[in-house]
Amino acid sequence: MEEGLISVDKWTTVSQVYFLTHLHSDHTQGLTPKWSKGPLYCSPITARLFPVRFPGFDMLLVRVLEAGKPQTLTLVSRSSHSKVLVEVTAIDARHCPGALMYLFRGQFGSVLYTGDFRWEIGDMKAVEGKNILLNALGDKKLDLLYMDNTYCNPSFSFPPRKVAAQQVVDIMTSHPHHDFVIGVDNLGKEDLLLHISQMLNTKIWVWPERLRVMHLLGFEDAFTTKTCLTRVRAVPRYSLTFETIESLNTVRPTIAILPTGLPWGKKFLDQKSLSYSCVSLCKEGSDIFAETGHSSEIFKSPRKLHQHMFAVSYSEHSCFKEIEEFLKYVNPSRISGIVSSAFCCINPRHYLDHLCKDESDNLCCKDSRGKLGLSVAWKAESVLECDKAFGIDKQINISGLLKGCKLRADSPKVLGVQRSMISKIRRRVRGVKIDHNDNFY
DNA sequence: GCGATCAGAT
DNA sequence: CACATCTGATCGC
């Protein structure tokens, strides 16, 4: 497809139409109340929440797309001035409220941009999404997949959100005299809070802005801004630190809960491996949770991060198995990760470079746009090497994942690259201007 | 001084 | 080693 027609979660470049997957801030960088570069497509829920995030935004620019209802857009080629027909189909991404994936089809072929997504195995809404996707594709293959690769590493395995939500409730019922604070973002994890509210038959405190969001989402009854009504409070995630929880405990016994797919607190990690020192911390907390009967694997159980703080693997991103399953379904010709982080596209040699320094330079180089990245597609051998590097004992066959696929590793990663450089690049790789001149390896 | 962007933090 | 977010510094007007 030619340049300048479609942008997804990318707001600073010139395009004819723009697509927003969801309202998390890392997908709206460059989008402001005064933004007016062109029509903006999003889900009905995103459109409803839009004025909260961008007060005064010209809502005439916003076009609502319903999941599963394909729409044909007529764009104009900037070079030949001829019409370019693009069919777009939105699919529920099962991430936060209103999150969509977009499938684009046209003469250029078919391109799917997942945005952030969690397709749990057995989740009927995800099955529905798969059917929409496969129906739209017909007998054509998917040419290019831009995929949420946040947890695209076999190290990550977490339970369905329902199970994780129950783990949180279990922590609460086993501490009947404690207050609780749960770290959440401006959007997302509502189902967790609703589950807690129902199981404990209590309202949940949220901050005023968040209450507005809850009301716009249709959750009228479960939330309150009156502290006296409840011992369960949802607080901004960034506000939860060891310091704040310790300080809360000088007033009354309080337990903090971090719902996250991520492994940390960073101070608990063994620097050299993802098979962490966290194991020992789990043991400390595991007695309490033995009765949950869930897997003892690290990510499947609550982890005690601190005397008064637990992390529970409630994730709005797909874990590795789910990504694997997803890839089997869509069977793309090419893949490009949309998240650059050490866990997903990590250079398999990150933890092995002391063993192969002489070769390491070959693996990290600039691509044609000057971005740092791996210029070689992962081969099955290097994936297996990655397993070893991560200390994974089980033979997980992920080489099949890459069969027929070339994975472009956007990851800047390691091997002497400065951290500041990594964060710069991470910011840059979010969002995409759909463009066939993009280079894939 | 203001908004936009960036760096650095949790 | 940072899910998404905030704060504070800096830049351009």
Is a pLDDT exceeding 60 seen at residue A401? no
Beta pairing partners, A309: A256, A306
The closest nt to A276, taking CA to C1', is C1
Of residues A367 and A193, which shows the higher confidence score?
Answer: A193
Q: Cβ within 7 Å of strand C: which of A 340-399?
A: 341-343
pLDDT at residue A155, as a whole number: 77
Segments of A237-277 assigned E as strands? 254-259
Place of tokens 């369960």: A232
Question: For residue A401, what is the DSSP state?
Answer: G
The closest nt to A188, taking CA to C1', is C4
Tell if A156 CB is < 7 Å from nucleic strand C: no
Average pLDDT, chain A: 74
CA A259 to centroid of chain Cα atoms: 13
For residue range A291-313, list pLDDT tens digits in order: 333 333 566 788 888 899 999 99
Is a pLDDT exceeding 60 seen at residue A110? yes
CA atoms within 13 A of residue A392's CA, in its CB half-sphere: 19
Segments of A330-393 assigned E as strands? 334-337, 365-366, 372-373
- What is the spatial distance, in angstroms and rounded to an integer, between the CA atom of A241 and the C1' atom of B10? 7
- What is the spatial distance, in angstroms and rounded to an integer, between the CA atom of A18 and the C1' atom of C13? 28
Is a pLDDT exceeding 50 seen at residue A321? yes
As a whole-number percent, the residues of chain A with pLDDT over 70 amount to 69
Which H helix or E strand runs over A309? strand A309-312
pLDDT at residue A263, as a whole number: 73
Is a pLDDT exceeding 80 seen at residue A434? no
Cα–Cα dist A19/A11, whole Å: 9
- What is the spatial distance, in angstroms and rounded to an integer, between the CA atom of A102 and the C1' atom of C12? 36
pLDDT at residue A410, as a whole number: 32
Contact A157, A350 (CB under 8 A): no
pLDDT at residue A298, as a whole number: 60
Is a pLDDT exceeding 90 seen at residue A205? yes
Using DSSP's 3-state secondary structure scheme, residue A224 falls into: strand
Contact A40, A20 (CB under 8 A): yes
Q: Which of A95, A87, A115 is nearest to A21 (CA)?
A: A115
Q: Which nucleotides of strand B come closer than 7 angstroms to any CB of the protein?
A: 3-10
CB atoms within 10 A of CB A416: 9
Domains of chain A: 6-154+318-361 (3.60.15.10), 161-312 (3.40.50.12650), 380-429 (no CATH)
pLDDT at residue A289, as a whole number: 30
Is the backbone of residue A413 left (phi > 0), alpha (psi -120 to 50) or beta?
left
Beta pairing partners, A223: A204
Of residues A317 and A374, which shows the higher confidence score?
Answer: A317
